[in-house]
Each structure stands twice: as C-alpha cells, then as structure tokens.
Structure 1
Amino acid sequence: MTIAVAGVTKEYKRGDRIFKAVDGVSLIMESGDFIAVIGKSGSGKSTLLNIIAGLTVPTSGNVLVDGESILTYSDSAMSDYRSNSLGYIPQGQSTLADLTVLDNVRLPFHLSGRKGDSASRALTLLEQVGIADLKGNYPKHLSGGELKRVAIARALINDPDILIADEPTSDLDKQTTAEVLALLQSISKDGKAVLIVTHDLAALEYTTRNFTMVSGVLTQQAKIQMI
C-alpha cells in the first residue's frame, strides 16, 4: 500500500486571522518505511496524523491510498480504511479500564465485524510486543511502557498496512523509550509502513526517514547516524 499526502493544508480561523495548522505538506509512505516527524507541541504534527487517518478534513490538498482519494470515501469505505488499512496509536492512555489486556487488544477485531479466533491472534501480538504474561491483567496494574505495548498490539489486531502513532514515547523513561522504538522498527522491517510524530530525538536512531515540522511546514532532513 502507498499513502500519498499531496499538498495538504489545514486552516483554522482565530478571530480575524487565518491560522495554518498544516501548511502545504506532501509525504509518501510505502511498505517498510519507518518515518518520524519531529516537532514541538503545536507544530501541526497531530493535525497531520488526523488528516491521514481521515479524522480531519483538510482545507486543501489530498490524501491518496493507492491512488484513490480518501476524501471521496463513503462512510462505510472510511470505516473500512480506519479499521483494516490503518492502525492508529493515539497519544496518552487509551485502554478501557474494565477490559483485560487481552480483551483490549481483541476489541477492534470485533468492532470491525470480523469473524475468527481473535483471542489467538491477540495473544500472538501480545507475545510479539513482549507482554503475553499480562494478558489477564487490567490496565490499572500496568506501567506506562506496558500500556503503550498494549496500544501497539491493539493497533495491529486487524493487520493494517500502515501504523501511525502520536507521541508513542511520551512520558516513558529512556530504557522503555528505546524498547518501544525498537519494537516499532521491527514492525516496519516486517513490511508495514510506520509513521510517528514526536518531539523525542531518540527516534532518529531507528527510523528510515526523518522530517521536521515547524508552524505546519514539513521539511525532510538528512538521515543522521546516531552515536
């Protein structure tokens, strides 16, 4: 799958002024990419992710999935795109408190109307992210890093082609940050496209391409080998 962000701008009105949260952004993602967009809070990173996810409609420009505009999708086609083609890891804690780890991971499978053995697939994913032993625990018993691993497994349950994550290492310590970034890197090496937006420069050690975002403007940076 190829996702092409083509000249996307998102404007908001603030009083008499027009504010561009995203300003003429173009970006192409393909299988095996691990892309980081680095920027400070308020730079437009999350807005860009929401546009790619079809949660925010751009003022101008387009998002193309294998050449087809998601702006033309019907409600059912958009739902299918979000459920099956795209895995989204939101910022912050997003698990449901009254579900076990296993059931939190299984939930999107059933919400999408799929049939099959979701428990077996969810357990395989929990093994992949290294927390299968916590399958029966509830979110309140997990650390921040463990909750992030649950979110990653849940985003993968429907086998999406692209995984996008909003600040996946926020509030994590250095070791856990490295573990989560290495996990995302391994997912990209397995053939999925991974896009993260972050302010954490540690991500640059793991990615295949890096961009900075300042005042809504996206700029590609040379790949730097971290020492």
Structure 2
Amino acid sequence: MYNPAHFAVTDEARLHALIHQHPLGCLVMHGPHGLDANHLPFELLQADDGSLSLQAHVDRANPLWQQLANGDPVMVIFKAADGYISPNWYPSKHQTHEQVPTWNYQVVHVHGKIRIRDDEKFLRGVLGRLTRTHETRVAALPGNDFKPWKMSDAPAAYLQKLLGVIVGLEIEVLRLEGKFKLSQNKESSDRVALVQTLSALGQADMAQAIEKPL
C-alpha cells in the first residue's frame, strides 16, 4: 500500500482500536482460481506473550477453507470512516484556488498466516466471544429494550446443528500496516473549517475522525 509518512500510523494501539471498532474485515487470499476476497467479522486477540491473532468463521459451504492450506499467507483489510472531500470546503481554496478533490479514509492491513480450525471447542469460543462483544454494544444503544442474546438462549440441538455447518479460521498476525488519510497535509485553518463543514453536512463520522482520530 502506498503510504506517505504523514498518513502512516505505526502506533499499534491505534490500529488495534480501529479493528475492534470496525471488525468486519475483507480477507484477501490467492486460491486455485486466483485472487479472492471474503467479508467476515473478526476478533483480534492478544496472547500473554504479546502475539496477535485474528479469529473468524465461515459457512462450511464456502470453498475458502478447502482452498487454503495451513500456513498460507493472507491479508485482512479493515476500514473505518471514509468520504469525499471537496476543495470548496477549504478556506484557502477561495484565496488561491490551489486545492483539488480527494478522498479521506482510515484503513488497517493485517498480514499473516492462516490456519483452518475445524473443531467445536474453537468454534464455541469464537462464537461466544463475538456474540458477547456485539450484544453488549447493541444493548447500550439508545432505545434498545432487549436483553443481550447469548448462545444458551438457543436450543442445544439447534445450536449443535449450526456448529456443524461452520468452520473456524485463525490468522497468525505477522505485520500491521495503518493508513489514516485525514487531511493531515492541510493547513490547520483548512482542517478546522473541514470539520465544521462535514458536521454541518451530517457527515459526523468523518468530521470526528479528522478532529479526533483513533
């Protein structure tokens, strides 16, 4: 990924935060028919020794898990806020006219080696943690009156049947690469005006990302 120094993010805590807050990743692989991509919710885990892994699951009908061998290299792309930026939103444009349109975004590329985990214990762990994380978030939403769903809410036989039609994935993380392109190369006055304009236009996510990046 082309990553100029003023957009590059090397602070791993910030990269972890993006993944935790935006866990739907695009798993990119090279299979027998060439490049392929699958969009999956991942969980980022850190072991006691500091090593990182990504865990997810796929439908057993998805050929992905049969097309990859343990140890194959893969990449997972995570994306946060993004949006078009008009040059009209910069005060300096109206003074010099030396601004052009661009696109702002925040991404993390995770490079690693995949391992297929076709065992029930692993799958129960993945599903249990994924469910707890996102049900907790949903429970905190304003107006939500539902209690968090948990795996034990489902009949045991039904759950056992569903566990049989999915396969686990575990990725050993070898390298993280972050790029937060948030108009850092613009003057402070232009950035302040950009935040104000985006907020007024209802693009709160991008405005917040520029004002207070992860």
Q: Does TM, scored on the shorter chain, surpass 0.5?
A: no
Q: TM-score range by the shorter chain?
A: under 0.3
Q: TM-score, normalised by structure 2?
A: 0.23
Which structure has more relative contact order (CA 8 Å, sep 6+)? It is: 1
